[in-house]
Structure 1
Amino acid sequence: MARILIVDDSPTEMYKLTSMLEKHGHEVLKAENGADGVALARQEKPDLVMMDIVMPGLNGFQATRQLTKDAETTHIPVIIVTTKDQETDKVWGTRQGARDYITKPLDEEMLIKTVNSVLGGNQNK
């Protein structure tokens, strides 16, 4: 299955996401803020990044933009996972390069469906 990097500053959300993804056979990497997430993505080259928006320091929009514009990480799809559910946030997330946008609280079935959709045929690496 896929190696998925979760970037989220909430221990509760990190736990929920990790549990759901590991239950479906994915390997999970973790970062607690945008800067660490960008650094870890460059180092580990995960198959997918799940990015929160509201974090101290480098926020999720900024981190997503860095990952999608960097030649080293541009191939890694980013899914934004956030409580921000305004249409303007979704549009802005897409403009930063995110492949998809999911709002919390998370529905496990929808999460896994979105992950599989974004990964396409790459989840069996």
Structure 2
Amino acid sequence: MEERSQKVLYVEDNPLNMALMHHLFKKNLPDVLLLEAETGEHGIEMAKQQRPDLIILDIGLPGLNGFETLEHLRHGEYTRHVPVLAISAFAQLSDIAKARQAGFAGYVTKPIHVRTFTEIVLNLLAGGAGRFTGC
């Protein structure tokens, strides 16, 4: 198996959303390794161990929610500088503003628009800015 140069950690508790993301990465981002975690707590541990280039974090997680998980990541030695993209079904302007204020690199609403989402991920992986908008 060939080595993939970049890693993305997706933290999501919904198996259908996880399967969709796997399909999306396989089709549109085949050179990027997608790692997965089902809870914020597991995501924090995976991020410490795997040191991903980007974290995609669902807001509505059981246990630690996305905002709490982000707070923990920002205090970690190896995770504080990793861009974190929020993904959520919460689509109100106030939700997006709260994510921006919390320090997320971007905010994508579900259901996602595949082309726009792919562009955002590639931009963040290249060190660019995220977007705070619905896909």
TM-score (norm 1): 0.90
Q: 1:106: Cα distance to partner?
A: 1.2
The answer on 1:112 being equivalent to 2:112 is no
Counting helix residues as a fraction of each chain, which structure ranks higher? 1
- Cα 1:121–1:70 change in 2 (3 A) is closer
Q: Which amino acid aligns with 1:62?
A: E
Count of residues paired in the alignment:
122
User: Mind listing any 5+ residue stretches in structure 2 that lack a counterpart?
Assistant: 129-135
- Cα 1:121–1:65 change in 2 (3 A) is closer
The answer on 1:22 being equivalent to 2:26 is yes
The answer on 1:92 being equivalent to 2:98 is yes
- For 1:64 and 1:118, the matched residues in 2 are separated by 16
After superposing on structure 2, the runs of 4+ consecutive aligned residues of structure 1 that deviate more than 6 Å are none
Counting only pairs closer than 5 Å after superposition, residues 1-125 of structure 1 correspond to structure 2 as 1-23=5-27, 24-25=29-30, 26-120=32-126
The structure that has the greater radius of gyration is: 2
Q: Which amino acid aligns with 2:118?
A: I
Q: RMSD of the TM alignment (CA)?
A: 1.5
User: Mind listing any 5+ residue stretches in structure 1 that lack a counterpart?
Assistant: none
